[in-house]
Amino acid sequence: MILLSEDLILKAYDIILKELRGFISEIDLDEDTSKLRIKLKSGTTVFIRYNNYGQYSYIVMFSSQKLDRIRFDNFDNKWEVPSKPHHTHPRHQEKAIESPFKGSSSDNIKFLCSIIQSGKIYRFGL
C-alpha cells in the first residue's frame, strides 16, 4: 500500500523535528504540495518532496553555486545503477550513483537525519 504524499510529508516532518532539533534554524511545511524545506544552522538547506506515486526527492543544497547539492530520488528510471530507480546525484556532479535509500520513507528520513547529524552529508558520494 502506497501512503498518500500528505501522510508521508507529515511523518517526515515529525521525524525531522525530533532527530534534527538542535540543527534546525527554520522549517517550512507545505502540506498542499507535500513539500518540506529545512534550513539548517550550518546554512545548508534540505528539501523533501513526495508524490502519490511512491516517488520522493531529498535535496541537500550547500550553496547557490551550480551543482553544489546532493539529490537522492527515484523520480526517473533512466539511471543504470544497482539501486534503480533509487539513485543519488553526488555533489558537483550530474551523473547518478547507487542510492542508500531503498527502504520505507520513515527509514529513509531517519538515515538522512543520521548523515546530517554525523557530518557525513558533506562528504557523501565523494
Contact by Cβ (8 Å): 2, 52: yes
Residue span of the structural domain in which 81 resides: 5-122
Question: What pLDDT was estimated at residue 72?
Answer: 95
Please, where are the H alpha helices in the chain?
A: 5-19, 105-118
* Number of separate domains in the chain: 1
pLDDT tens across 26-67, in order? 999 999 999 999 999 999 999 999 999 889 999 999 999 999
Q: What pLDDT, on the 0 to 100 scale, is given for residue 19?
A: 96
The C-alpha R_g of the chain, in whole angstroms, comes to 14
pTM of the full predicted structure? 0.93
Q: In which band, very low, low, confident or very high, does the pLDDT at 125 lie, cut at 50, 70 and 90? A: low
Look up the CATH number of the domain holding residue 99: 3.90.1150
